[in-house]
């Protein structure tokens, strides 16, 4: 007996993020369909809260089960900033602004956190993933997006790693938890 193939909608306006998610999902036999749309992200104290509220808002408009992903860069020396404000901070000051804030700072520890919020038609389920690294002293690499050119993982930035990044990223770690759960639940 052949198993029915699984599919799920992913809501994002970021094509790079969609491609990364689709590639990871294929390993689990899941077909991720892209709902390319922007949505208003409420402000909140945590990524989990923002993802949950965003999914609740979208659930009023989208009739199919779907998931969204929110991620943030947390810098230890800046007390976790930009954290849940990462998207806004990136749009306003970018990587150059973060590097200016970090000029002369010795403690460069940082981590990326990704949160998946899945709406199954009734409930919202949340999955997280974290990867630790450091803030580089300069922008390096051209293969990533967002903060990738300043996030050092080992001796390379995420933007220097290309596809290698997908093997270790915060998004991958959250997606693996979600996709494993999804396959167990629906197969």
- Residues with catalytic function: 70
Closest CA to 67 of 52, 89, 50: 52
Choose among 154, 185, 183: nearest CA to 169. Answer: 154
Q: Within 10 A of 62 (CB to CB), how many other CB atoms are there?
A: 17
Are 113 and 120 within 8 A, CB to CB? no
CA atoms within 13 A on the CB side of 127: 19
């Amino acid at each position: 007996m052949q198993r029915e193939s699984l599919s799920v909608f992913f809501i994002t306006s970021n094509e790079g993020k969609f491609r990364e998610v689709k590639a990871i999902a294929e390993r689990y036999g899941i077909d991720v369909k892209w709902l390319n749309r922007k949505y208003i992200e409420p402000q909140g104290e945590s990524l989990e809260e923002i993802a949950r509220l965003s999914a609740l808002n979208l659930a009023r408009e989208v009739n199919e089960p779907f998931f969204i992903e929110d991620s943030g860069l947390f810098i230890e020396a800046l007390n976790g900033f930009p954290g849940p404000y990462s998207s806004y901070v990136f749009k306003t000051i970018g990587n150059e602004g973060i590097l200016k804030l970090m000029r002369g700072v010795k403690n460069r520890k940082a981590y990326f956190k990704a949160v998946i919020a899945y709406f199954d038609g009734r409930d919202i389920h949340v999955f997280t993933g974290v990867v630790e690294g450091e803030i580089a002293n300069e922008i390096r690499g051209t293969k990533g997006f967002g903060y990738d050119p300043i996030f050092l993982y080992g001796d390379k930035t995420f933007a220097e790693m290309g596809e290698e990044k997908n093997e270790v990223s915060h998004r991958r770690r959250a997606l693996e938890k979600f996709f494993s759960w999804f396959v167990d639940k629906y197969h």
